[in-house]
Structure 1
Amino acid sequence: MQRRSIRRIVLVLALILGLASVTWAAAQDDYQRGVSSFKSLLANEKRAGLRSEWQAVQKYFEKSLAAQPKGGNAAKCLYFMGRVHEELGRRSYLNADRRNALTMFERILAEYPKHDWADDALFRKGVVLQEQLKDQAKAEAAFRAVVSSYPNGDMAGEAKARLKTLGGGVPAVTVQPAPAPPRQQADSKQAQTGRASSKVAASRTKTSKGALLQGIRNWSSSEYTRVVLDLNQDVDYDRKLLERANNGAKQLQINLRGVEIVQDVQPSRTVGDGILSQIQVGPDQAGGALVTLDLTQMDRYRAFTLPDPYRVVIDVYAADCVAAPKAQEPQTHQSGDVDHVQAALSELRDKREDTRKEDSQAKAEPKPVPSPAKGPTATAQVPDQPPTPPQKVAVSNKQKKYACSLVEQLGLKVRTIMIDPGHGGRDPGATANGIEEKDINLRAAKIMGKMLQDQGFEVHYTRTKDKFIPLEERTAMANAKNADLFISLHCNSYKDASIRGLEVYYLNLATDAQAVRVAARENGVSAKKISDMQFILSDLMLNSKINESRQMAALVQQEAEQALRPRYAFKSLGSKGAFFYVLTGARMPSILVELGYLTNPAEAGNLNSDAYLSTLARGLVGGVMAYKKKLERFALNDSGRS
């Protein structure tokens, strides 16, 4: 009798545990489906205009929360429910939707005040109050609470920026205009006008809802600098290059039309950690903002914009030990790439003509007062892609020593590698089957990095913890570290759960719909936006390491396949070109690896396994080693012919 009772108790406990496990799994599945559906709907403006679509998304989070009201995803479910109502309110203009959004965000603050997403909820509450309910006082209080209650949270900076756009926010500072060339300085009337504009602009910044320059970030090395101008909306801008001295020092001026300057932007900041010596900011006479970069030397520069949030990115390059390649069409081994590349280059030639006219006009003006600086070193040009030797040549020890030197001189060495675990922090990346992409990316990066270190490489990471890093900072970090390779790790997703496989991308024009789709997801924009924005790439192609990146992508894909195929059901989707923000501006060969599809249950299980990630990492490292050896063979054979 006693044994029967024990058995019954055991059976009841097993049944309870089993039901709890099923409930937890169902709650997880509903949450992941909700996140995916939310992102998909947000990217489809036509569907997003229908209330029924948002209600369908809402149900996933309601089901997950009902199944696990105190579970690990409870606060996140409330957050997304708030976001659903926020997006509904943005489209319906109904205060009921807006108040429902506030209710959800306030529940998080009341029930989960120490949750990682509590500062996000408080910030979104402020956004709804400011943008939809037009309650500026309460919005200001919410943003101030973000700064005071969560000073180390990832929303504190954005809350400060919001405060500066509010009438009762932090008062704006009066900024003096950036030093102008002598011709302008000699004109006292213009100088007086500039000072008056400064006061007017500062006054407008307190209440204006127009375009604002919210901050300036920069990264520098002895041969490169990247400057990012953070804005609250898309703007038009002009650029002008001014010669300052015969020794190579220059001024690059970026004029942001109709843009006002917020308080935190310093009028003058000394940098002095590379080719960038100083950044000066001030209003121009037309009511815009003038940003002046003082450069000790410069060989070339490029400027482009990135959306969501809006920013202008300026990359400046010093003269390398090897001069930039001549304008020529990048070589390609795939006939499908040719038309796209030629079209981009044709467009680029027109742009370069405009740039030359613009620069020649700037040079015709009186030159500013020169400042001491070292000039660029003139060197011979070399082809962007090393030639394939026709035959093997016997190489002496002396020639081998020369070859090592040649590898250094041509920038073909592979010693320092920057690994970029994609996404992070508030950006989870793809989410499916209970897994967040950002976590897999970081695990894979650390495993791969350790293997590369064991091979003698110097390894750096864009992040080593769950931290959000803007896309433009990632390659800037690699450039500032003078990395020889940049490898960005990601996971993929798709609505068809049967799709699986590994893909390796390099920066180029996307040649198929799949490449456009993947790039759109990683860039956080729509596929149409990628198609519209590919013209940016034509301004990057001539000086990017496209051929080297293509070769490395092919070798990495090949070695990964060889490592995985004997042990796993592996599918290779090949290597291909596409336009990724995270790869733009890289001065070294750079690739983006899509490790697999989290939406495929079997592949998601593999990617969540350290054993699989280790095998995959061995393949990726094998590809790096193969690329390194290819460069060394080129140098050896070249020295044998000399």
Structure 2
Amino acid sequence: MSIRITTLTLSILVLLTAQQIFAKGKGEQLFEEAVKLYKALLSDPVKINNYEIWDIIAQSFYSIYRDYPDSPKAPNSLFIAGKVYEEMGNRFNSPEDLKNSVRYSREFIRVFPGSNLADDAQIRIARILERIDKYQAYKEYEKVVKNYPKGDMIHAARKKLKELSSYRLSKPTPSQPAKEASQELARVKEIRHWSSETYTRVVIHLDREASFESHLLKADFDLGTPPRLYVDIKNTTIEKDLKVTPIEKGLLENIRFARNSPDTVRVVLDINSFTNYRVFSLLDPFRIVMDIYGGENKNNLFVRNKDYNSALKQLDKEVSSLRGVLGLKVRTIVIDPGHGGHDPGAIGPTGLKEKDVTLAIAKALKRKIEKNGKEFGITRVILTREDDRFIPLEERTAIARKHNADLFISIHCNAAKDKNAFGIETYILSFTKDPESLAVAARENVTTTRSISDLEDIIKKYLLSSKIDESIRLANHVQGSLISRISRKYKDTRNKGVKKAPFIVLIGADVPSILVETSFITNPREEKRLRDRNYIEEIAEGIFTGIKKYSNEVETAFLVK
């Protein structure tokens, strides 16, 4: 922040002419300019909600007092610094700023005890402490009456002493209740993030459900501050030693977190560019998901350390767009083997685990695409997991966005209480009232059907940008090709069709995305087939054929345009 203060000071000095500097002391002139900025902030309905502007102005007033202690405006500068920090603490619910206000107010009383503003500084201290410690506040109000009996704050102080008279003799001992209250707070356990040049997903993991509010602070070109998205999580504290993994180059610039009040945690995301955002929560376990979408701004004013490499990357983007015009629209595919690690997925009658089958199918599909995909434009295939590890559902979609996927395909095995249930079906993200589809989604989401209903508002936010028409076309091609391929060798194959359901793993992909339920692992006959390498290869071949048909269709349609 010292850099910003220096910048502001230099900006103010530029405004001064040589005559003004000689006519008035530097401290006085800087004070007048700082007051102008302060008044302008108070009258601007947009900038008044910008924390960083407030912080710069508050520290500027203190800097004038510190750097020009002999200026006649030094006392006023220190007093206003304390005043601004109190306003910041109240406006932004910031205990740290209230502490600064108390600290600067005490400094004012110590350095300028004879000032007619000393009683104002003293009552400010009492007013702030009253919010957290009424016993100590009572003592501070007493100082106003005792030390400034002729000051204009005497009547307000006496009124407060009367109100707080029950705190006069002894301080309550709330140490044990406070400890119990702390134990009741939810805890932020982990913050994970994934980012590309145009997309960021941040997931905040808590140990229990908590209410939260999200806010967006737009970029300020005057100050050079990027857009910031933050969430305030109520009745929450921070897990000890919480750390965030280093941030790679991309849309996300920085993640900051702190206790914004004794029972509120604020997580702030600094973003290089911004077009849209969505914030929602997921249950079992509880986590808050923050999705940010950035525009491809070639003249991004907030990107640091620009160099020729960034220009080359932009050129690569333009070349990639040219390839798109030539028809190579599907280039990158992300394949998601469902479940993994401690999450086995569904388990068959003889113990076959869904997580093992999905990984086998995904690897087989990847081999086929890598071998033959270039013939129709696919140049890259990525698996969300290459081995037996657990990956949260929201991370799988983030991986697709991070790698700028053109298609996202999640592989699963179906399951049912009825061991006779069998067949193949393919899903896209949407609403449904079908109990069977809701049950499938609940199982794959590792949650309950009640929690599924809570997803409705979340899905509404995404459907407009979820490529639903393209997803339907992709699902139809894959489902049709799968049934055609499998039924050649397995006559009792059942086509359960293309369906809709609220799958968490498909939320936020923003590319054509499907979830394939390859067979019922709970059916003894289909479980046996899923153990067979040949059956796995047939499933992979069917999905591959569907992808190829979709890719060719997209290319043809694009060329016709």
The answer to whether TM tops 0.5 is: yes
* Deviations, residues 532-588 of structure 1 (Å, cap 9, x unaligned): 432221011111121111110011000111111111121110011110011111132
Which residue of the partner structure matches residue 600 of structure 1? 523
Which residue of the partner structure matches residue 290 of structure 1? 266
Q: Residue 260 in 1 paired to residue 183 in 2?
A: no
Which residue of the partner structure matches residue 547 of structure 2? 624
Which residue of the partner structure matches residue 364 of structure 2? 447
* Deviations, residues 149-185 of structure 1 (Å, cap 9, x unaligned): xxxxxxxxxxxxxxxxxxxxxxxxxxxxxx9332366
Which of 417, 427, 438 is residue 343 of structure 2 equivalent to?
Answer: 427
Change (3 A) 1:619 1:298: same
Structure 2 matches for 1:264-275, cutoff 5 A? 264-266=241-243, 271-275=247-251
Q: What's the offset of the Cα at 1:529? A: 2.3
Which residue of the partner structure matches residue 495 of structure 2? 572
Number of residue pairs aligned between Structure 1 and Structure 2: 384
Q: TM-score, normalised by structure 2?
A: 0.64
Contact 1:607 1:613 in 2 (8 A): yes
Q: What's the offset of the Cα at 1:465? A: 1.1
Contact 2:325 2:559 in 1 (8 A): no
Q: Residue 303 in 1 paired to residue 205 in 2?
A: no
Structure 1, 558-567 or 506-515: larger mean CA deviation: 506-515
What is the DSSP-based 3-state SS (H/G/I as helix, E as strand, rest coil) of the residue aligned with 1:510?
A: coil
Change (3 A) 1:538 1:559: same
Change (3 A) 1:273 1:453: same
Q: Supply the distance in 1 between the matched residues of 2:408 and 2:322 (Cα, whole angstroms).
A: 22
* Deviations, residues 57-79 of structure 1 (Å, cap 9, x unaligned): xxxxxxxxxxxxxxxxxxxxxxx
* Deviations, residues 65-106 of structure 1 (Å, cap 9, x unaligned): xxxxxxxxxxxxxxxxxxxxxxxxxxxxxxxxxxxxxxxxxx
Structure 1, 527-536 or 236-245: larger mean CA deviation: 527-536
Superposition CA RMSD, Å:
3.1
Q: Residue 471 in 1 paired to residue 388 in 2?
A: no
Q: What's the offset of the Cα at 1:495? A: 1.3
Contact 1:270 1:279 in 2 (8 A): no
Structure 2 matches for 1:185-204, cutoff 5 A? 186=58, 187-189=84-86, 190=88, 193-194=95-96
Q: Supply the distance in 2 between the matched residues of 1:411 and 1:207 (Cα, whole angstroms).
A: 59
Structure 2 matches for 1:336-355, cutoff 5 A? none
Q: Supply the distance in 1 between the matched residues of 2:319 and 2:182 (Cα, whole angstroms).
A: 63
Q: Supply the distance in 2 between the matched residues of 1:294 and 1:483 (Cα, whole angstroms).
A: 24
* Deviations, residues 266-302 of structure 1 (Å, cap 9, x unaligned): 4x88635101111111122473011111111011111
Could you tell me which runs of 5 or more consecutive residues in structure 1 were left unpaired when the two chains were aligned: 1-178, 322-369, 376-401
Change (3 A) 1:403 1:424: closer
Q: TM-score, normalised by structure 1?
A: 0.56
Structure 2 matches for 1:145-544, cutoff 5 A? 180-183=51-54, 186=58, 187-189=84-86, 190=88, 193-194=95-96, 208-246=183-221, 249-266=226-243, 271-285=247-261, 287-319=263-295, 371=302, 408=324, 413-434=329-350, 435-455=352-372, 456=374, 457=378, 458-544=380-466
* Deviations, residues 412-449 of structure 1 (Å, cap 9, x unaligned): 72111111110111111001222111111111111111
Q: Supply the distance in 2 between the matched residues of 1:625 and 1:244 (Cα, whole angstroms).
A: 43
Q: Supply the distance in 2 between the matched residues of 1:283 and 1:521 (Cα, whole angstroms).
A: 36
Contact 1:261 1:289 in 2 (8 A): yes
Structure 2 matches for 1:110-149, cutoff 5 A? none
* Deviations, residues 29-68 of structure 1 (Å, cap 9, x unaligned): xxxxxxxxxxxxxxxxxxxxxxxxxxxxxxxxxxxxxxxx
Q: Supply the distance in 2 between the matched residues of 1:607 and 1:221 (Cα, whole angstroms).
A: 36
Q: Which has the larger radius of gyration?
A: 2
What is the DSSP-based 3-state SS (H/G/I as helix, E as strand, rest coil) of the residue aligned with 1:431?
A: coil
Contact 2:326 2:559 in 1 (8 A): no
Q: What's the offset of the Cα at 1:261? A: 1.2
Amino acid at match of 1:219: W
Amino acid at match of 1:262: E
Contact 1:553 1:575 in 2 (8 A): yes
What is the DSSP-based 3-state SS (H/G/I as helix, E as strand, rest coil) of the residue aligned with 2:497?
A: strand
Contact 2:218 2:227 in 1 (8 A): yes
Q: What's the offset of the Cα at 1:313? A: 0.4
Q: Supply the distance in 2 between the matched residues of 1:241 and 1:491 (Cα, whole angstroms).
A: 40
Q: Supply the distance in 1 between the matched residues of 2:251 and 2:426 (Cα, whole angstroms).
A: 33
Q: What's the offset of the Cα at 1:461? A: 0.8
Q: Supply the distance in 1 between the matched residues of 2:189 and 2:259 (Cα, whole angstroms).
A: 14
Change (3 A) 1:285 1:433: closer
Could you tell me which runs of 5 or more consecutive residues in structure 2 were left unpaired when the two chains were aligned: 1-49, 59-83, 101-131, 133-177, 307-317
Structure 2 matches for 1:58-69, cutoff 5 A? none
Q: Supply the distance in 1 between the matched residues of 2:303 and 2:483 (Cα, whole angstroms).
A: 54
* Deviations, residues 360-381 of structure 1 (Å, cap 9, x unaligned): xxxxxxxxxx955699xxxxxx
Q: What's the offset of the Cα at 1:320? A: 5.1
Contact 2:209 2:286 in 1 (8 A): yes
What is the DSSP-based 3-state SS (H/G/I as helix, E as strand, rest coil) of the residue aligned with 2:489?
A: coil
* Deviations, residues 102-149 of structure 1 (Å, cap 9, x unaligned): xxxxxxxxxxxxxxxxxxxxxxxxxxxxxxxxxxxxxxxxxxxxxxxx
Amino acid at match of 2:346: A
* Deviations, residues 380-403 of structure 1 (Å, cap 9, x unaligned): xxxxxxxxxxxxxxxxxxxxxx99
Which residue of the partner structure matches residue 585 of structure 1? 508
